[in-house]
Structure 1
Amino acid sequence: MELWIIFSKLIIILLLSFSYVQSKTSSLAVIVLAILVYFSINITLYLIRSGRVKICIHLVSIVLIFITFREVNTLFILLLPNHFYELSWPFFKKKWVLLVMGLLPVFFVPHLQASYGLVALFCFVVYFMTSHYSHRLIKYENTLDKMRMDMQRLSKSLNENKEYIRQSEYTSRLEERNRISQQIHDSIGHSMTGALIQMEAAKTLIAIDQTKAVELLQNAINISKEGIEDIRITLKNMKPPTEQIGLQRLKLFIEEFSIQHQLRMPLVHKGNIDLITPIQWKIIAENISEALTNSLKYSGASEISIDIQVLNKLVRVEVRDNGKGIVSGKVVKGLGIVGMEERSASIKGTVIVDGTNGFSVTTLLPIV
């Protein structure tokens, strides 16, 4: 705002100088001296931040303007509107009142009425525009500061959530390790301890009572077998089902892909998912990933659906988008489709590509 005010004062001084050159009503040295004194006072005005000191400097400037108006050159009165508006602008809510008050001196300078009126209007417009845009700038800065604080708060909250998740995962792992350790100790540990006691007793009795020793060894063998069976059952219970791993990984991948690229991606699965083997899940995931990438590149689709069906003899996986498809109807197989076909063929499967209604890639894998 200050730059615009200084610029307006400079324009008025140039106007004053131009008018003086045309009229030459007073000494050039006196005019230059008055302008230098005015400049010096106004430079001080923009170097000081204290409001009271600024008001005093404005009053000194106004006094100087009236003195130079009476004693040096009447053209100096043209500098008055700038100081009047700058001094009184913050104290009036109705700015039109200031305009009227700023135009009042027109009646006391009859030979400068037109010039003074134009200068007063020019200064009012400058102050109105600078005040208006300064308020908008302050509003935008406050909004920006608020957004910056909100971002910092959200970033802090996000970091705290990440730390909480990390600690929760670590705590969950510790609890799982503790549960497994306790389970091994309670079931398998007791069995192994019992078998060891039986074998130690058999070792002691082997030279005295072989029949009893053989009986104890057989008990130890039976206990060991039970312990091994307990180990197998425990590991089986701890290991998640294959279909659960494959399906959950696929759901997670599809959800991340959907959020990242702003696409609707419904996933439907039917049939006995347990029949899908790990190698089949690997091929299904890779083929779906390749099909989604191709749809994203070429189709311009807003929705891509994934349909997994486990039938009697095969697994059918279809990826279909609602994009533009293939206008000519002839599909040109690139490296992506060829790669899908090779992966499927490695376990005697096949891939069917259709571009007539959107674009679809169907993977067929036999159930062994």
Structure 2
Amino acid sequence: MSKTDSSDMMKETNRLKERTMNKNIFRHIDTRAAHITFIVAFFVLIWPEYPFLHVHVLIVYAAFAACYIGMAAAPKGWWNARRYVIAVCFLTAISVIIRILHSDHPDHRIFWPLLYMLGVADPKWNRSTATLAFVTVCLIFGMMLVDGVSYGALIAAVLMYIAVRNQSRLHEAHRTNRKQLEQLNTAYSELQQTSVQAMGYAALTERTRLARDIHDGLGHQMTSLIVQLQALKLMIPKDPVEAANSVDEILKVARKGMDEVRIAVKEWSDDEKGLGPIALKGLISQIEANSQVRIQYKEIGPIGEWPVECSVILYRILQEALTNILKHAGASQVDVAVEEENEHVKLLITDDGHFSGEKPLNFGFGLSGMIERCKSAGGSIVFSANSPNGLKIQATIPLAISSSTF
């Protein structure tokens, strides 16, 4: 991945974060506005029919409404169990004092917004707010005993609290799910970037191997050629016939070296077409070098350039398959074949392990992950028994994969 691509990715991530923060801010403002709107609407509904004849009632309602609006406007993180207790005790004390001075006011409805505020409290204070809500309901019932019990109003208050509390918990669950989804998307992006880096490392390993093969093979041929040419130079004056015969051997060595150069250049040029095939070969070289399993890689027909999305998925599938073979199969030979057909890439992995097909495969996290990767790309994967024993895995991935599925 180039520095330019990495920089663009960082800028896009920062823009997404800014949009997410703005959405969260507006969502929080909307939530506060909804709570304040409910409080104002509630006090409008219980407003006296002739307000100017009951000025003291208006003052009480206005004072309680201001307290509730202040509670609704306070930041959610500001609240804790102790502050909820203080708020309930303060409002209860004020109502008791006013009730002593004016025996008819305030009535039980003055505590309904308090039930509402306890219902929309942060779920982490559920135990404290539920206890305070029970105390508030008892206060409402106590005031009803003095003014006249209305079981319908009492049940309505309790149902309002339950409905608001459940809605608040549901909203919190959605918020938590959204946050976890954002974290999962971030982790997935990091995993994809890591996969591309791993593929680059595997490609570098494969190119290093090719360079070493050229050095060891062609270097030996060229050294032999130089020695024979030096001998030929000394041989020509003394024995021209033998020197002429030696030319044929020197030509064979030269042609063999040229053939090796052509093969190496062809492999190198094929590798430069795309990161995918060379990354697969590099992964195979790494695993083969660190295990006792022989892995044979074969390309069937011409192999073109693969998109990065397709390359990553095939790389991860092969990586998981080889890891499972090393851990569980007990195989000594693995064959990996890649073929392009009808705008699809087929990856075939077979081993000679102890799987016979008599018992069903145990689809653990690894195999399930391979299935999910193929499905997410619009491809398919088939697991079957190999003959005479072992496991055969055939994954088919379309070359055209949208970035949304990736």
- The normalised TM-score by structure 1 is 0.54
Superposition deviation, residue 248 in structure 1: 5.1
Q: Give the CA deviation at 1:182.
A: 1.5
1:212-251 superposed matches below 5 A: 212-215=238-241, 217-231=243-257, 233-234=259-260, 246=301, 251=339
Name the CA distance, whole Å, in 2 between partners of 1:195 and 1:133. 91
Unaligned 5+ segments in structure 2 are 1-30, 120-125, 271-297, 305-337, 347-373, 383-397, 401-406
Shift of the 61–4 alpha-carbon distance from structure 1 to 2, 3 Å rule, reads farther
2:85 to 55, 60, 71: 55
Please state if 1:139 is matched with 2:173. yes
Q: Does 1:179 align with 2:213?
A: yes
The answer (yes or no) to whether the contact 1:68–1:76 under 8 Å persists in 2 is yes
1:256 maps onto 2:344 in alignment: yes
Alpha-carbon distance between aligned partners in 1 of 2:164 and 2:183, rounded to the nearest angstrom: 28
Counterpart among 105, 109, 112 of residue 147 in structure 2: 109
1:18 is paired with a residue of what secondary structure?
coil
Residue 136 of structure 1: how far off its partner (Å): 1.5
Q: Which amino acid aligns with 2:110?
A: L
In the alignment, residue 214 of structure 1 is paired with which amino acid?
P
> What is the CA deviation profile of residues 292-322 of structure 1, one whole-angstrom value per residue up to 9, with x for unaligned ones?
99xxxxxxxxxxxxxxxxxxxxxxxxxxxxx
Task: Classify the secondary structure of the residue corresponding to 2:46.
Answer: helix
Distance 2:42 2:50 in 1: 12
- List aligned pairs for 1:289-328, cutoff 5 A: none
The percentage of aligned residue pairs carrying the same residue is 9
String of CA shifts for 1:93-152, please: whole Å, max 9, x gaps: 699967973434322103xx55xx555444333321221011122222223333333333
Q: Which residue of 2 aligns with 1:15?
A: 45
The separation in 1 between residues aligned to 2:84 and 2:137, in whole angstroms, is 24
TM-aligned CA deviation for residue 189 of structure 1 = 2.9
Correspondence for 1:34 among 60, 67, 77: 60
Give the equivalent residue in structure 2 for 1:80.
111
Deviation at residue 226 of structure 1 after TM alignment: 2.0
Alpha-carbon displacement from aligned partner over 1:155-177 (angstroms, at most 9, x marks no partner): 32222222111111111112112
Structure 2: distance between partners of 1:44 and 1:96: 19
Letter of the 1:33 counterpart: I
Matched with 2:193 is 159
Whole-angstrom distance in 2 between the partners of 1:254 and 1:131: 56
Task: Give the number of the structure whose alpha-carbon radius of gyration is greater.
Answer: 1
Look up the match of 2:227. Answer: 193
TM-score by length of 2: 0.49
Q: Distance in 1 between matches of 2:116 and 2:345?
A: 61
Check whether the contact 2:39–2:68 (CA below 8 A) recurs between aligned residues: no
C-alpha contact 2:39 2:113 (8 A) present in aligned 1: yes
Q: What CA distance in whole angstroms lies between the structure 2 residues aligned with 1:217 and 1:58?
A: 112
Cα distance in 2 for partners of 1:149, 1:213 equals 81
Counterpart amino acid of residue 224 in structure 2: H
Q: Given that residues 103 and 120 in structure 1 are in contact (C-alpha distance below 8 angstroms), is that contact kept between their aligned partners in structure 2? A: yes
AA aligned opposite 1:9:
I
Distance 1:50 1:11, change over 3 A: same
- Equivalent position amino acid for 1:197 in 2: A
**Aligned residue type for 2:88:** H
Aligned partners of 1:201 and 1:213 also within 8 Å = yes
Per-residue Cα deviation, 1:164-216 (whole angstroms, up to 9, x for no partner): 111111111121122122211212431233123312553xx4xxxxxx25235
Describe the SS at the equivalent of 1:251. Answer: strand
CA RMSD, aligned part only? 4.3
Match in the other structure for 1:351: none
For 1:36 and 1:265, the matched residues in 2 are separated by 69
Aligned residues: 252
Segments of 5+ residues of structure 1 without an aligned counterpart are 206-211, 267-288, 294-368
Q: Distance in 2 between matches of 1:108 and 1:246?
A: 93
- Give distance in 2, aligned partners of 1:231 and 1:175: 18
CA deviations over 1:43-67 (Å, ceiling 9, x no partner): 4434372432342233222222233
Structure 1 residues 328-343: aligned runs within 5 Å: none
Change (3 A) 1:198 1:257: closer
Which one is further off, 224-233 or 177-186? 224-233
Q: Look up the equivalent residue of 1:223 and give its one-letter code.
A: E
Q: Which amino acid aligns with 2:94?
A: L
Q: What's the offset of the Cα at 1:86? A: 4.9
| Inter-CA distance 5–265: structure 2 relative to 1 (3 Å threshold) | closer
Distance between the aligned counterparts of 1:107 and 1:217, measured in 2?
128
C-alpha distance in structure 2 between counterparts of 1:94 and 1:189, whole Å: 91
Deviation, 1:92, is 7.6
Q: Distance in 2 between matches of 1:140 and 1:236?
A: 61
1:12–1:228 CA distance, 2 compared to 1 (3 A): closer
Q: CA deviation at 1:5?
A: 5.1
